Amino acid sequence: MRRLLIVVVVLLIAGGGAFWWLTAPVPVISADLANSIESGGDAERGKIVFNAGGCAACHVSQGQPEDAVDRLKLGGGLELKSPFGSFFAPNISPDPDDGIGKWKVADLVNAMQAGVSPTGYHYFPAFPYTTYTHAKVEDIRDLMAFLRTLAPMKGKAPAHTIAFPFNMRRALGIWKLLYLDHTPVAADPARNDKWNRGKYLVEALGHCAECHSARNAIGGIQEQYRFAGGPDLEGKDWVPNITQHKDGIADFSEKDISYMLKTGDTPDGDSVGGSMVAVVRNTAELPDSDRDAIAAYIKSLPPREGPPKPPKKE
């Protein structure tokens, strides 16, 4: 019995050590390389990254008058409800205490590409770093240059209210092993510059698949439903299929998609709703060429059938 107990204790220690090693937050920019990327950002280019990334959609200060929202007040506080609990978007203004005013460019790169905070803990993937990880470091540096031009906002967002065991941040290290892929978005030499720009905007900065894909029980995107729509995070609505499937946007032309991203108007005379309204507020600020590029890439997505919808309640 004594030997058995010793073996069990050794296995538990070894298992605990392996878990601790596997789940360690791993930044992509080490402290000794942080200074090498700190300078050189372009705020004007960063504004395009800001709008393409939809930063204001989540991080805009809450409590503003609905008809006079200032998208550049980034005090955060938006509640993102999910099956795991409620996440609250943080303050990303340049405030040194409540926002990210003390962050270096490397801190923003590590947050967006690795989901790791400046103090070394995992961010929850309600922050779509699984897609932002494909963004170029120089784009993130430009984004930081733009964010530093904005007004500091006081106040911190409420703490997340996440149910056990999903509130165990350390376990996110295992989740990242499954769903965080750092592979860059590769250009297709057989395609033109417009299409490749659209691919980068959709697959990296725009993080379109994060909303337009169904997820499994632990919050990972189900690849067979990528871009094919599914239930929203709250489970109250249905996010549309944006592939060329008959139940998607096969009837939309590139021009229709680009126009929708500028105005919110769809070709059937309707307009976008739900969280897409905030998305359009961002894409409307992009150069026409970027909206056209997004449209070209979206129009090229192969038809993919979405998950079955639940029966309508009587």
Q: Among 135, 165, 184, which residue terminates a domain?
A: 184
At which of 160, 184, 208 does a domain end?
A: 184
Give the pLDDT confidence score for residue 63 in this predicted structure: 87
Same domain, residue pair 160 and 282: no
Q: Quote the domain boundaries for residue 151.
A: 25-184
State the pLDDT at residue 76: 93
Residue 217 and residue 73 share a domain: no
> Do residues 55 and 107 share a domain?
yes
| Number of domain units in the chain | 2
Place of tokens 């409540």: 98
In a domain, 9, yes or no: no
Provide the pLDDT for residue 95: 96
Centre a 10 Å sphere on the Cβ of residue 213 and count the other Cβ atoms it contains: 24
Residue 218 lies in a domain: yes
Same-domain pairing of 171 and 201: no
Distance, in Å, from the CA atom of 10 to the CA atom of 246, rounded to the nearest integer, reads: 57
Same domain, 145 and 231: no
Is 301 domain-assigned?
Answer: yes
Digitized pLDDT (tens) for each residue of the chain, 314 residues in all: 667 777 666 666 666 666 555 778 889 998 888 888 898 899 999 999 999 999 999 999 998 887 788 899 999 999 998 988 999 999 999 999 999 999 999 999 999 999 999 999 999 999 999 999 999 999 999 999 999 999 999 999 999 999 888 888 988 999 999 999 999 999 999 999 999 999 999 999 999 999 999 999 889 999 999 999 998 877 678 899 999 999 999 999 999 999 999 999 888 888 888 888 889 999 999 999 999 999 999 999 999 998 888 766 55
pLDDT at 21: 58
For residue 231, what is the enclosing H or E element? Answer: strand 230-231
pLDDT at 50: 97
Residue 112, pLDDT score:
96
Q: Judge residue 235's burial from the number of C-beta atoms within 10 Å of its C-beta, 0-12 exposed, 13-18 middle, 19 or more buried.
A: exposed
225, 152: one domain = no
Question: Sheet containing 85-88: which strands, arranged edge to edge?
Answer: 79-82, 85-88, 161-162
Q: What per-residue confidence (pLDDT) applies to 20?
A: 54
Do residue 260 and residue 156 come from a single domain? no
Q: What per-residue confidence (pLDDT) applies to 257? A: 94
- Given 184, 214, 246, which residue is the final one in a domain? 184
- Residue 66 belongs to a domain: yes
Say if pTM beats, i.e. exceeds, 0.85.
yes
